[in-house]
């Protein structure tokens, strides 16, 4: 499994545990301390889905499943990586618990896609007009809405208390 981290905050609580694994990459909208994780800087548009799309089109090995995540999460126990590797499905959304899922339905903070699914979609939709706006009242984040609408019939859910998501916002 490859791991794509969308970078902006460069939280050590996320990067340090993941830096110990092979096949981890950062695609970021600005520079920062990547803790020696290979990092590509791209234009600051499209929020995390631009990072994810760039990874699929330019870095992905075309054979591995991919875990996509933000860099503003805390990984309390990296064994969740082994747990999620074992789950089959086209797309698996990671949640703290069922209540978090019921309140949000979808997010871009952490999800796994199968190689077959990525091959079929060829990349992610991202908002090329969003230069960092996180306010829901302004239509942000359409990438999440697009992901949910296109996957709601195949989406699986994985619940874990081994990570903490949502340092920068509500989840």
Per-residue pLDDT tens for 93-122? 998 888 887 777 677 889 999 999 999 999
pLDDT tens digit sequence for 25-79: 999 999 999 999 999 999 999 889 999 999 999 999 999 999 999 999 999 999 9
pLDDT tens digit sequence for 118-142: 999 999 988 888 877 766 545 556 7
- Structure-token match 């060829």, residue found: 122
d(C-alpha 115, C-alpha 107), whole Å: 20
Longest dimension (CA), the chain: 39
pTM of the model: 0.91
- The class level of CATH for 2-164 reads alpha beta
Q: CB of 160 within 8 A of CB of 96?
A: yes
Q: Could you give the angle at which helices 47-58 and 142-151 cross, rounded to 10 degrees?
A: 60
Burial of residue 7 (number of CB atoms within 10 Å: 0-12, 13-18, 19+): buried
Q: CB of 125 within 8 A of CB of 49?
A: yes
Helix (H) or strand (E) holding 144: helix 142-151
Which residues pair with residue 3 across a beta bridge? Answer: 24, 67
Residue 136's pLDDT is 56
């Amino acid at each position: 499994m490859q791991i794509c981290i969308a970078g902006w905050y460069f939280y050590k609580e996320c990067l340090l545990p993941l830096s110990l694994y092979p096949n981890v990459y950062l695609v970021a909208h600005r520079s920062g301390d990547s803790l020696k994780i290979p990092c590509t800087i791209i234009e600051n548009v499209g929020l995390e889905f631009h990072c994810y799309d760039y990874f699929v089109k330019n870095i992905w090995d075309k054979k591995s499943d991919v875990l996509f995540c933000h860099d503003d999460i805390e990984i309390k126990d990296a064994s969740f990586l082994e747990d999620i590797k074992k789950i089959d499905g086209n797309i698996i959304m990671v949640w703290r618990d069922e209540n978090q899922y019921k309140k949000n339905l979808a997010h871009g903070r952490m999800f796994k896609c199968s190689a077959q699914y990525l091959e079929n979609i060829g990349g992610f939709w991202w908002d090329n007009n969003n230069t960092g706006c996180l306010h829901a009242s302004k239509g942000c984040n359409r990438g999440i809405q697009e992901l949910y609408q296109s996957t709601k019939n195949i989406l699986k859910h994985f619940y874990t208390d081994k990570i903490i998501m949502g340092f920068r916002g509500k989840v």
